[in-house]
Structure 1
């Protein structure tokens, strides 16, 4: 079966537990098409997984019509497999990343749903548990971050960086949970921005820029149907584009009026954007991105937060060489 290309949902082979029944068809990508690999309700052996990974085939794909089932499948995997102390670190990282991506995809598909905060908190809790395992865990997770831009993937990666920064700063677990939740949902308001504005390659018009600058406020409005939002989560969402010198938006706040969660998410947000490839520029290397952040820390970004991110990213990357 040879199907025309749609936005099929990727799943890393390493995130699939051997002998676990998969409730939907799995596909391989062949150029611009997807070819059936395994029918639903079949299992993959360890040998099959290793064989395809050794061939350089790291991803399988799922029909986008099964988005919600995929998110539910991964939520079950996290609950039953992620706690296994014998699971290798790299497979645990792959499972966490794929599960989180799938859950975030479904959240952005229905951003006003009443359980958004609860599902986001679950992703953050697993991320905190993993990051707390040490620098090898942080390194294995950050190296899985994609260079391709999709808003929900960007939000996930910003959350990973933010939690890693907060962990490096020895912040409490409660603070990390609120921080990670805010980072995970910081761009939720972009679902209320016109697609043509979000995807525009050229310079935005005045009207389009006004619309874009409303997305932090729109994000909080979308979460209004959820339970009470912690102020730290709220500040991360509303303030991630504020800058210490007052040049940011939407309020133009200055140093003393920008809460720590917003400062951390601002740095994580810029770092992920710099290391992401866009139509108008290639992705920066991690070293290049950190240099840009250090320049921006002279005025708009928090220099202490940039320094902590440099430790998180630099240590893990050098160790992996």
Structure 2
């Protein structure tokens, strides 16, 4: 399967991964054949891209993720309930929050060898709820990599899941605004960090360090963040972790003002921010849990051959297993073969093909470009 922008969808394509809203309702199920009506409804719902089946490359089977789809959906639903409770002047259900963190942590510990492969599909209105779940997962994986004990992981998980709770006091119109923010609008959005801390510290059963994650997750390693301009060790390590997870997941999401970045593009952007926005050690710990070239990515090798990523190597994330489908002359192979790039020192991924590239490849009009997209170790 591959992720396709909604404007490039065509009737007859088959949905490869079900799409859910933040209440757990299935908006469009896997296996459904797209029609003009379904494509129009996806646009109306604010969904910018979906996963579809691809007849050019063989089926990859089920792609295993660090947490189950059921846990992810239940967590998103729980976050939504707590945001709505606060908006209605009710209290957060801290018992349920802790239970969800425990469930996520149990699944992550049971799937330690699994890298993050897929980025989820979310509507604009549901962005904050899905984002909160993803940041929690990414943060806990980072904490596990750093050797955190159970107590520290739970403190980190609670704060990560609720890091954006202060956004309930910022208007949704402002949060979802298309285009550039004015100076006053940006100043208003920045208040969500202090708002979140003020909310969470009123709960005796939420650790104060978890509340500080909401307060500090927009501080920068170089001291140019907000709200207090803290730098390096002045920023609590939990908040340093969530800062990286927050930006990484935001880059992978379709937003009103831009389409999602690919995983390898997002990792490249984070690497450029290392030492400025983020502590390099923590960034490295997070990225070690990410499949830089996810299963299903269509890639061109430096040999000129084109194939699809069918497996990842945890110890060499930039060197996955690729099923070669086209030779260097762009002729489709009758018998595709797999190459494990971790065993080949001179062969590497030159770039990931875009959706437009794949369309041209199918039509026979694809023109190779110079390698410029590589993420080498």
Structure 2 stretches of 5 or more lacking a match? 1-20, 28-34, 43-51, 54-62, 296-310, 313-320, 322-377
Aligned counterparts of 1:279 and 1:168: Cα–Cα separation in 2: 33
The one of 207, 223, 228 equivalent to 1:230 is 207
Query: Against the structure 1 CA distance between its residues 166 and 224, is the aligned structure 2 distance closer, same or farther, given a 3 Å change threshold?
Result: closer
C-alpha deviation, 1:274, in angstroms: 0.7
The one of 267, 275, 280 equivalent to 2:252 is 275
Deviations 1:188-244 (A, max 9, x none): 111100122111112222221221111011112233542243232022111100001
Deviations 1:16-59 (A, max 9, x none): xxxxxxxxxxxxx972679xxxxxxxxxxxxxxxxxxxx98xxx
C-alpha deviation, 1:297, in angstroms: 0.7
CA-atom RMSD in angstroms = 3.1
Q: Does 1:97 align with 2:38?
A: no
Query: Against the structure 1 CA distance between its residues 203 and 144, is the aligned structure 2 distance closer, same or farther, given a 3 Å change threshold?
Result: closer
- Structure 2 counterparts to residues 1-321 of structure 1, below 5 A: 9-11=23-25, 31=38, 93-111=68-86, 113-137=90-114, 139=116, 143=118, 145-146=120-121, 148-149=123-124, 150-314=127-291, 317=294, 319=311
8 Å contact 2:66–2:114 — kept in the other structure? no
User: TM-score, length-normalised on structure 1?
Assistant: 0.69
Query: Against the structure 1 CA distance between its residues 92 and 203, is the aligned structure 2 distance closer, same or farther, given a 3 Å change threshold?
Result: closer
Aligned counterparts of 2:161 and 2:183: Cα–Cα separation in 1: 28
Aligned counterparts of 1:163 and 1:132: Cα–Cα separation in 2: 10
How many residues are matched? 249
8 Å contact 1:147–1:283 — kept in the other structure? no
Aligned counterparts of 2:280 and 2:287: Cα–Cα separation in 1: 10
Aligned counterparts of 1:174 and 1:287: Cα–Cα separation in 2: 32
Query: Against the structure 1 CA distance between its residues 225 and 116, is the aligned structure 2 distance closer, same or farther, given a 3 Å change threshold?
Result: farther
Structure (1/2) with the larger helix percentage: 1
Structure 1 stretches of 5 or more lacking a match? 1-6, 14-28, 35-54, 57-87
8 Å contact 1:131–1:138 — kept in the other structure? no
C-alpha deviation, 1:180, in angstroms: 0.9
